[in-house]
Amino acid sequence: MGLKHTNLHPRHQLRYDIEQQQVERYFKDLVNELYDDRGRKTPTMNVVLFLAADAKSDEKQEKEINAYVRFFKGSYKVIRGLNQIKGASSMTTPDESE
């Protein structure tokens, strides 16, 4: 048929390289418009990061997450592995005795 496709394959992964400063500026502007300019209280943002027990730490990523959490005056917790996940649970399941 001689058809030529110009669209990317559906499984093609797009990657956007955005500097952290651009993201911070966006959130500052967003918070100003949605909360500060309207006299509303800025929300708190908490982050819980679940990692495999053997996952390697990425120092750069951890610094970025800490900066994000600090901006929203929240808290940050890393939970590694199944044992910590079970230990962090505050709910009991039907098969567990209270």
Token duo for residue 39: 């006299």
Tell me the residue type at 38.
R
Q: What's the pLDDT tens digit per position in 60-90?
A: 888 888 888 888 888 988 888 888 878 776 6
Q: What is the pLDDT of residue 34?
A: 94
pTM of the model: 0.54
Is the CB of residue 67 less than 8 Å from the CB of residue 76?
Answer: no
Report CA-CA distances (Å) from 66 to 1, 41, 70: 55, 21, 6
| Residue 39: how many other CB atoms lie within 10 Å | 6
Confidence of residue 37 (pLDDT cuts 50, 70, 90): very high
Confidence of residue 1 (pLDDT cuts 50, 70, 90): low
